[in-house]
Structure 1
Amino acid sequence: MRARKDFILRDLGSQHLVVPTGAATRDFHGFVRLNDSGAYLWGLLGERRTEDELARALVERYGIGEGQAREDVAAFLRQVADFLDE
């Protein structure tokens, strides 16, 4: 999976927002707020990634356990599911 190109990450101070661009603005009239780790994962989704790759990236960057990383990735993917290409 990877992030759809018509949704981009914008950093506004300490806030990270995924916002629609172009034609996507006709169908989605808001934004998704992400925490720091969510913004990090979104950045990784500029290229096609698997859930396993995302979880490993969280383990490496934040030093958390693999189980926690998998739970966090699953929660993140549920939040942004509409903004991903499979």
Structure 2
Amino acid sequence: MICVSFVCHKMDEYGFGSDYREKKNIMKIDRNFVLREIAGEYIIIPTGKTALEFNGLITVNEIGMELWKMLQNEVTFDDLLKGIMEEYDVDEEVAKEDIRDFLDKLIDGGILTEDDSTESR
């Protein structure tokens, strides 16, 4: 199970909904966010001007950190699922649901971006 502790006060609409998992849309982490390990915790931190606008804190577990690493490159939902299935002994349906929850939280926070022009990948 992907554990995400998400405390955020910036919850606007960011342009794409839960259909990311049905299409082959390419997703990538907004470059204004970085993942740091601090005292054994993985924390997503806003940088630059985003730090002034983003009023929150996000911590993730090891699986969330692995997804974060994959999202540093342009990937699809299927790419994420394949990466987690190869790395961890987890039921595919459980993995799908956990990845969806993780991505939904990133979308809600404006951390994840999507390129609709690459649907045909």
TM-score in same-fold range (> 0.5): yes
Q: 1:54 is matched with which residue: 72, 80, 95?
A: 80
Distance 2:100 2:62 in 1: 16
Matching residue's letter, 1:83 = I
Matching residue's letter, 1:5 = R
Q: 2:111 is matched with which residue: 79, 83, 86?
A: 83
* Cα deviation, residue 52, structure 1: 1.0
Q: 1:8 is matched with which residue: 21, 34, 37?
A: 34
1:5-59 deviation line (CA, Å, top 9, x unaligned): 0000010132101010001012102221111100110111110111111111111
Identity of counterpart residues, as a percentage?
A: 31
Structure 1 unaligned runs (5+)?
none
Q: 1:26 is matched with which residue: 52, 56, 68?
A: 52
The runs of at least 4 aligned residues of structure 1 exceeding 3 Å deviation read: none
Give the length in aligned residue pairs.
86
Matching residue's letter, 2:70 = L
Which residue of structure 1 lines up, in the alignment, with residue 94 of structure 2? Answer: 68
Matching residue's letter, 2:112 = L
In the superposition, the TM-score normalised over structure 1's length comes to 0.93
Query: Cα RMSD (Å) of the superposition?
Result: 1.0
In the superposition, the TM-score normalised over structure 2's length comes to 0.68
Distance 2:73 2:91 in 1: 24
Larger relative helix fraction: 1
Which residue of structure 1 lines up, in the alignment, with residue 68 of structure 2? Answer: 42
Structure 2 unaligned runs (5+)?
1-26, 115-121
